[in-house]
Every structure is written in C-alpha cells, then in structure tokens.
Structure 1
Amino acid sequence: MLSGMISGAISAAIGAASAASKKPSSSGGSSSSSSSSKGSGSVSFDPNFDYAEAIANTTDAAERARLLKERQAKIDAMGLAGKVGSNEAVSVWTQNYRPYWISSGEEDSELGVTGLYDAAAKARLQAFETARQAIGQRLQSQYADIEQSYRQGMTQADVNARRSALGNEEKLAALGLSTGSAYGAPTSGYTETSRVAMDNAYRSDLNNLAAARLDARSAAAQSAADQEASLLSGYYNSEASAALQQAQAALSQYNADRDYSISLAGLTGYLNGMPTMAYQQMQSDWALSQSQMQADAEQTAYERAVERWKTYGYVLPADAALLGVAAGTPTSDQSYRTAQLKLNQIKTNYQISK
C-alpha cells in the first residue's frame, strides 16, 4: 500500500507541476537529448540519461516531478521493473541520502493483501456453490426415492385390490349370494354392493398414495429450501465479516504508511516525493531573510494547494496537511470556501506588509 500511496502522490505532483510550470529543464532528459524515445502515455525519455542521479541533485519540485515521470516511462518501455531502483525509492533521494529498493509493482504481486483477500473470497464462493449443488443433488435423490416408493405402493395396492376382489367373490358364492364368475356381471344386489365397496376402497388407497407422494415431495423441497437459505445467510455473513476485516487492515496499513512517510520526511526532507516546507525553507535561506522567505513560501504553497484543489475538484493527499482538511475533500465542501477566504486574507496581509 505504501508504494501505491507514493505513486499516487507522485502522479499528483506531476499534474500540479505541469499546471504551474511549463518551462523546459536544463538538467538533461528528453528535452535536451538528441536521442529520445517514447514511453507509455507518449512521454519522451532519454534511454542513456541517468535520471536517478539528476533527481538526487535537484531540489526543484517541478523538475523532480518531470524527471520522475520520464524515468517511470523509461522503466516501463525498457522493461526495467524489478531490475533497477524503484521510482518510490528514488523519489526521496537527495545528495546525501539514497535509500534503495526494487518494486515490481502491486499489479504483479500475487501475495499482496488485496490478492490474499480476493483468493479467500473465491474460496468461500467455491465452497458455497459446492454446498448448494450438494443440496440440489440430495433433493433429486429424495425425489427419486419418493417416486420409487410411490410406484411400489401402487403395485401393492393393485395386488391387494385384486386379492380382495377374488376373496370376496368366493365368500359370496359360498353363501349362495353370487352365481356368476368373478369377471361377469353381478348376479345379485349383494354382489354389486360388494364390488362397489371394493372399488371405492381401491380408489381410496390410490388417493392416499398420491397424497403421500405430494406431501413427501413438498417436505423434501421445503427442507432443501431451508438448507439453501441458511447456507446463503451464512455466506453473506462471512462476506460482510471479511469485508470489514479487509477495511480494518487497509486502514491500519494506511496509518502505518502515513507514519512511515512522515518519519522518512524528517530524515530526507521529502514527503511522498515532494520537498517539505522545512527543507524548502532551508534552501531559501541562501537568498532571502528567514522571516520574509517563510511568509512567501507559505503564501505560495497555500495558493498552489488551493489552485490544485480547484483544478482537481478534491484535495490531493500531499495538500491535506497544508490545507488542514482531509484528503479527497471536494470543492463543494464548506472548507473550500474557508480556504479561499484565508487565501484572500494572506494576500491582503502580504500587500499591507510591503
């Protein structure tokens, strides 16, 4: 996450520097080289120029931003990622302080925090789909068992009805109440009544079997639906818990990266690739008195921060501390109008002090 924050700040500085200054540099690079190439985004660079050394030897914010942009284009175009010092490291280089580390970029990292959470989310989704398929398979198996039991019951009902009919005919014949065959027309009222009763009992058995079949299928379907609802609820709960953990981890990492950047700024004089106010003040003491130079520097920094706020529509991370508002605050916020009022007051006080 630290590399992502530094890269974002560098990009913001590049945009701000481009808006504030369009003059060409005399320290080298694509503008002064007779041999230049085009990198990603049509950014020109000199493949033979030592950008890292030039970045370390300049204290001009606009120049550092331009050199960092061209160096990144060179790294991307020539496939130097992971082979030379990363732009995140070089962005804080000075003449006497040059920490070195290599970064292949977050997009190529399969073991990043985001990648680990994504892999866990995929595993949870796969487990959820597997469990849901198992519920469906069990339901189909229950349906098959119910149908088999229903067919067996139908067969047994047919057998029982046939046996009862033949047995009843024999009883009626023995009593002299039936003189015909079991398959012939009834020969007496007793025979007809007996056959109607047997037929009604047979149909009642069939109806009971059909009702039992429907009840069994309905119970199986309801059980499967309850299981799937419980499974879905558990899945959503686990996703919500994982999302909360990821947000908390991201916030903790952000705070750690911010503290590290502030600590590093105290050693190097640069914060996320941009010179700190203290470092700018130290360099400016060579030409102007300390009190006047500090007033000029604060006015310029605040004015540019407000202008970048207006240009981008929101506060850049590098400007948040200076403006006293959270990074990402839109211009529609009341704090923007307060900043404009403060800027006007600064300009008025500056004119009065002349």
Structure 2
Amino acid sequence: MAGYRKDFDYAEAIAGTQDEGERQQLLAERQEKIEAEGLAGKVASNEAVSTWTGNYRPYSVSSSKSGGSAVGKLYDAAETARLRRFEAARARIAARLLENLSSIDSDYTAGMTQAEINAHRSVISNEEKLAALGLNMGARHAAATSGAAETSRIAIDNRYRSDLDALGQARLTARAAAQANAADQQAALESEQLAAAENAALQQAQAQLAQFNADRDYSLSVAGLTGFLNGAPTLGWRQHQSSAAASSYEQALARWKAAGYVQAADAAVLGVPAGTPTADASYKNASLALQRWKAGY
C-alpha cells in the first residue's frame, strides 16, 4: 500500500509549513509519489519544492533516480563503444598474425621445394661432368663407382642439408619476429585501453564533482533567500523566527499592561485566556519569561 496521499497537494503543504519535521515528512512522501507514479520530469523537483515558503516558489523539473543518472549513461555508452573498438583492434592484430605466419610457412614450403629441385639439378649436372671425364656416378641408391663420384655425392648432400637447415632457421626466425611484433601491438593496445579507461573515469569523477559543487552552491544561495536548506530551516531562519516571536510576545505584553487585561487577539501569543488582568500572577510570569527570552536562556 502506498505511503503517500494520492490526491494531496504536497507542494502547497510544504510551502505552507514552518515545522522542520513536518516538512521532511511531506518531502519524503512527495518523492515516493513522484517515483511511484512516474511524475519525474512532469512536476517540480523535490530539490526545488524543499525551498518553497509562502509565495516564494522557484521551479525546476523533477528528476528520478534513473533520470539523474543520464550523464552516467552517456559515459557507459562511450565505454561500450571504446571496448568494441578495442576488441576489433585486437581481432585485427590476431588476424594479421595468422596471415603473416601462413605467408612464412608458404615461403618455407616453396623454399623446400626449390632446394630439392636444386639438389636434383646438381646430381644431373655432376653425372654429366663425370661422364665427360669417362667416369660413372653409379646407380642413385647404390655405392659410388669411384672416389670422385663419392666426393660429388657427399658435396651435393651436404649442400642440400645446409639449404634445409637455413630454410628451417629462417622460418623460425620469421615466425618469432611476427609473433613478437603482434605481442608488442597487443601490449600497446592494452596500455592505450587502460589509459583511456582511467581518463574516462577521471573525467566522470570530475563532472560529478563539478555537478555536486554546482548543486551545493545553488542550494546555499537558495537557502539564503528562503531560510531553508534541503527542506530544513537554516540557523539564520531560526534566529529570525525566534526574534520575530520575541517581538510579538513583547508587543502583546505591552498591550496587556496598557489595557490592564489580555485582549482576545493576544491570548494565543501570550498563552493565557483573554481577559486575564495584570493583577494575575500570570502577568508577572510572562514578564519574567520575556526577560529570559531576551537574555537567551
């Protein structure tokens, strides 16, 4: 069940009361009504109404908890967009690394093929040279028929193995360089991401602090005009009220003394029945009360 009165004019009641406790209760019920009935943005905010008194009615649009976080939502949207850019950049780095590694492996395969072709050509060339000298290399998979043939086979095999080793080492070096480059790019991207997140958080904190200071300054300036700060009376307002009450009491007491009895209009101020004579003990008590009031005790 709602803790507020549905058809009650809270704003008018708040403007008409000087009681701090009643004002706070009315403000709490009014805020509950605003949140429950979706009145945010349609009626004056509680921050504004809390300063209302008499005919002084500054107006600003009400905001709910969700409406008050509009700036926070903008920062959240920016953060989401930044994270998407970060993920997209990281995906591009990973894709480029795969492309580079694939290209390196393709070059390695092509180099292996070419090394085999070169070795085969060397075998044929050496066979022709030995034949021109009247020598024979012998069958490919059989023992060499001469010392020259054996030396030629060893030289070709050593050169072939050396080419394979060079290709393998070049492949490993290229892959390591590609992976190191990708890791450097990833580290730089993450560093940039962290710096951007820290900067965004700092900007949000600064904006919130600036808004807090602006709200505080506004509340203080309004308090100076209305005598109320966040719905509570200021010390200056209390002192003014106390002084006004003392003045009214003093004037009523003077009229009591002059007339010899309490007039009907002063009965409530003095706290005694109308018609009470000055000879009554209550007159002396009232005079003493005024003296204590002026003395501040």
Q: In the TM superposition, what are the counterparts of 1:231-242 in structure 2 within 5 Å?
A: 231-242=189-200
Counterparts in 2 of 1:189-200, with a 5 A limit?
Answer: 189-200=147-158
The equivalent of 2:210 in structure 1 is: 252
Match of 2:283 in 1: none
Aligned AA for 2:102? A
Distance 1:207 1:228, change over 3 A: same
Count of matched residue positions in the alignment of Structure 1 and Structure 2:
250
Q: Tell me the residue number matched to 2:32.
A: 73
Q: Distance in 2 between matches of 1:57 and 1:113?
A: 34
> Tell me, what secondary structure is at the counterpart of 1:145?
helix
Q: In the alignment, what sits opposite 1:92?
A: 51
Query: Match for residue 12 of structure 2?
Result: 53
User: Shift in Å at residue 177 of structure 1?
Assistant: 2.7
Q: Secondary structure at the match of 1:124?
A: helix
Give the whole-Å Cα distance in 2 for the aligned partners of 1:80 and 1:118.
25
CA RMSD of aligned residues (A): 2.3
Q: Which one of the candidate residues 87, 90, 93 is aligned to 1:135?
A: 93
Task: Render the CA deviation track for 1:175-204: whole Å, top value 9, x for unaligned.
Answer: 123263445432122222221221121111
Aligned to 2:285: none
Indicate how the Cα distance of structure 1 residues 109 and 263 shifts in structure 2: closer, same or farther if over 3 A, else same. Answer: closer
TM-score normalised over the length of structure 2: 0.76
Aligned counterpart, 1:108:
67
Letter in 1 for 2:114: Q
| Deviation at residue 153 of structure 1 after TM alignment | 0.4
1:286 to partner: Cα distance: 4.7
Q: Name the CA distance, whole Å, in 1 between partners of 2:216 and 2:242.
A: 27
Does the 8 Å contact 2:50/2:230 carry over to 1?
Answer: yes
* 1:37-92 CA-partner distances (Å, limit 9, x unpaired): x23xxxx2221222222111111111111111112222222332233222222211
Q: Say whether the 8 Å CA contact 1:166–1:182 is kept in structure 2.
A: no
Deviation per CA, 1:83-114, whole angstroms, max 9, x where unpaired? 3222222211111211223223252367x333
Q: What is the Cα deviation at residue 142 of structure 1?
A: 0.5
CA distance in 2, matches of 1:279, 1:96: 16
Give distance in 2, aligned partners of 1:125 and 1:235.
8
Q: Per-residue CA shift, 1:188-240, capped at 9, x if unaligned?
A: 22222221221121111111111000000001111111122222222222333
User: Are the equivalent residues in 1 in contact too, given 2:144–2:150 (CA < 8 A)?
Assistant: yes
Amino acid at match of 1:148: S
Which residue does the alignment assign to 1:158?
116
Q: Which of 1 and 2 has greater Rg?
A: 2
Counterpart of 1:167 in structure 2 is 125
| CA distance 1:126–1:208, change in 2 (3 Å) | same
8 Å CA contact 2:223, 2:229 repeated in 1? yes
Q: Structure 1-normalised TM-score?
A: 0.65
Q: CA deviation at 1:287?
A: 4.2
- 8 A contact 1:169–1:182 mirrored in 2: no
The structure-2 alpha-carbon separation of the partners of 1:109 and 1:272, relative to structure 1 and needing over 3 Å to count, comes to closer
Alpha-carbon distance in 2 for matches of 1:66, 1:257: 22
Moved more, 181-190 or 95-104: 181-190
Partner SS state of residue 129, structure 1: helix
Alignment of 1:1-354 (within 5 A): 38-39=1-2, 44-108=3-67, 112-178=70-136, 180-288=138-246
Aligned residue for 1:45, secondary structure, equals coil
Give the AA of the match of 1:152: A
SS in 1 for 2:39: coil
Percent of matched pairs sharing the same residue: 57
Q: Is the 8 A contact 1:136 1:224 kept in 2?
A: yes
For 1:209, the aligned partner's letter is: L
Partner residue, 1:14: none
Structure 1, gaps ≥5 residues long:
1-37, 291-352
Structure 2 gap ranges (5+): 249-295
Structure 1 stretch displaced more, 281-290 or 254-263: 281-290
